[in-house]
Structure formats: C-alpha cells, structure tokens
Amino acid sequence: METVAEPIAPSRGPMAPRPFHVVRRRRETADTWTLELEPAEGEPLDVAPGQFTMLYAFGIGEVPISVSGDPAGPLVHTVRAVGAVTAAVCASRPGDVLGVRGPFGNAWPVEAAEGSDVVIVAGGIGLAPLRPALYEVLRRREEFGEVVVLYGSRTPGDLLFRRELERWRGRFDLQVAVTVDRGLDGWRGEVGVVPKLVADARFDPDSAVAMVCGPEIMMRFAADALLRRGLPAAQVHVSMERNMRCGLGHCGHCQLGPTLICRDGPVYTWDAVEPRLAVREL
C-alpha cells in the first residue's frame, strides 16, 4: 500500500516571532507590569537566568526584555511602560497574543558561583533580570555560601516584587537589604543609594561572585563599592540593558566598543566592560 508522507511544517527562522498567550498579568508599580506567557503551540522556551527575548506587540513593534521568572517555570517578563511598544505590552490582558523571539544572550554565572558567596545588587527594574538567578541559587541553596540581596529604588512605590521581598527577608539563610532614594509614604526602612549597602553586607570578598543590574550610573558605583570590599573585577558581573534590535548580532544597533551586547552579553565582567563605559558617548 502506498503511503503518503506527512507535510513538513516550515521551520521558524530566528527573526520570526512565535505567538505566546498572556495567561497572567500583575501590576508591580504605577508603570510596571509582570506578564506570564505560554506558547500558543510547541515547546516552552528553555531560558537561562540573565537571557532576554525580543517581545513583539503585533502592529506596533518589538523590544528586548529580560526574562524575570523562575527558569523552571513559564516565561515571565516584567516590563516598564516607557514607549509605544512597552506600553502596548503592559496593556496586554490574559488571552491576548504577543510575539516572542529568542531567548538571546548569555547568562548570569550561577554555575560558576557554586561554593562561593553570591552578592546580588539591583537598582530599580534591574531586579527583574536578577530574579531568575536568585531563584536558581535558592533552589540549590546548599551549594552556595552567603547569599546577599541588595536592592534599591527611587521611592517605596517603585519597589518591584514587594511580597517576594518580604518572604526573602524572612529567610534565615538569605541577607536582604532594601533602600530608597526618597523615603515617602511613611517609609521606615533605609534611605540612600543602593551601592552604600555593600559596605555592611556579610560576604567573603576572596570567594564571592557579584551580579549587578540597574542604571549604568548605579552599576558604576556598585562595582566601585564591591572592588573597595576586595572583590576582583573579574568576579563582578553586570548586565548591560541597552536597546537591541535584531537579537542576533546582525544589525549592530547594540554595539559597545568591539562587542555586540545581544551576542556577547548582556552579562559582562566588570574588567571587560568598565574601560568602554569610561569612553564618552560610546
């Protein structure tokens, strides 16, 4: 009996977004939302902590967004509405469809940090790209030494993941310090910039690995504070959250000196990236 071959579905190229359904949407701050996404068809994305996707609002455009959820769970993005595309993404409701390309980029050095102290320093929405790394560290907590989370935002109303911050602060195996630039709304916690928290954190600089994300000016001062504590610059890792277009290293839009952030980053060691950040308008 003659058999008929099944038609072969055309493979999606790296520039073709896959449709993902929004299944949950939670407001974090006045302008920031966390979205949980599931693929309309096919396998979920296999994402490492620190990677990003190109998130596409159909008919409007796409934007690079770091993954902010548990690597063992669904695809989660935390997005601040700062332009037309991010505003459309944040306005998405459960059942709406967004396009996803990726994942792209390299990862936080969670595996390399085994047996070491881990210091996470985040400013503003920079906590979102670091949250997957923290999830992974906490899942394998016995494989690491001291674990420190230092987080700061402009005001109490700008803090992300407030319920999780409270849960993390209640753990005996985790140091958490939170500060704000301006203590409004009856704030009773620390007031000041997040790099100042580094001086009092408990960790061994001879065996610690630091992961830093936030505004570039904050990362500069945080890295300086970590180096003053004795961490080698090669053990301080930062995520460069500059704008990307293709995600594949073709367009050159995210060039930083001789590197392309979407291809060679977004995670860099401080000794590799600091000389380039010192170049005006690079």
Overall domain count for the chain: 2
pLDDT of residue 165: 96
Same domain (yes/no): 180, 201: yes
pLDDT of residue 257: 86
pLDDT of residue 248: 86
Q: Is residue 146 part of a domain?
A: yes
pLDDT of residue 281: 64
Lowest mean pLDDT among 197-206, 216-225, 247-256: 247-256
Does 194 score more than 80 pLDDT? yes
| Structural domain ending residue among the three candidates 203, 219, 239 | 239
Lowest mean pLDDT among 62-66, 160-164, 274-278: 274-278
Q: Is residue 278 part of a domain?
A: no
Residue 101, beta-bridge partner list: 54
Q: For the chain, percent helix, then strand, then coil, each to nearest 5? A: 25, 30, 45
Same domain (yes/no): 162, 77: no
Confidence of residue 282 (pLDDT cuts 50, 70, 90): low
Q: Is residue 209 part of a domain?
A: yes
Average pLDDT over residues 229-247: 91
pLDDT of residue 11: 55
Same domain (yes/no): 74, 138: no
pLDDT of residue 156: 93
Q: E strand or H helix at 222, and its extent?
A: helix 216-228
Average pLDDT over residues 166-195: 92
Same domain (yes/no): 126, 94: no
CATH of the domain at 165: 3.40.50.80
Q: Is residue 75 part of a domain?
A: yes
Lowest mean pLDDT among 4-13, 49-58, 240-249: 4-13
Q: Is the peptide bond before 44 cis (omega within 30 degrees of 0)?
A: no
pLDDT of residue 8: 44
Average pLDDT over residues 42-70: 95
What is the per-residue pLDDT across 146-159, written as a single tens digit (0 to 9) for each? 999 999 999 999 99
Q: Is residue 244 part of a domain?
A: no
Same domain (yes/no): 173, 222: yes
Q: Is residue 1 part of a domain?
A: no
pLDDT of residue 142: 97
What is the per-residue pLDDT across 113-159, written as a single tens digit (0 to 9) for each? 999 999 999 999 999 999 999 999 999 999 999 999 999 999 999 99
pLDDT of residue 1: 47
| Structural domain ending residue among the three candidates 104, 125, 151 | 104
DSSP three-state, residue 27: strand
Q: Is residue 81 part of a domain?
A: yes
Contact, 194 vs 176, CB < 8 A?
no
CATH of the domain at 31: 2.40.30.10
- Spatial distance between the Cα atoms of 89 and 228, rounded to a whole number of angstroms: 40
pLDDT of residue 9: 43
Same domain (yes/no): 55, 116: no
pLDDT of residue 250: 86
Same domain (yes/no): 74, 155: no
Q: Which domain holds residue 36?
A: 18-104
Q: Which of 260, 257, 238, 213 is nearest to 104 (CA)?
A: 260
Mean residue pLDDT of the chain comes to 92
Q: Is residue 64 part of a domain?
A: yes
Burial label for 127, CB within 10 Å (0-12, 13-18, 19+), is buried
The stretches of the chain forming alpha helices (DSSP H) are 84-90, 127-139, 162-169, 216-228, 261-264, 270-277
Confidence of residue 12 (pLDDT cuts 50, 70, 90): low
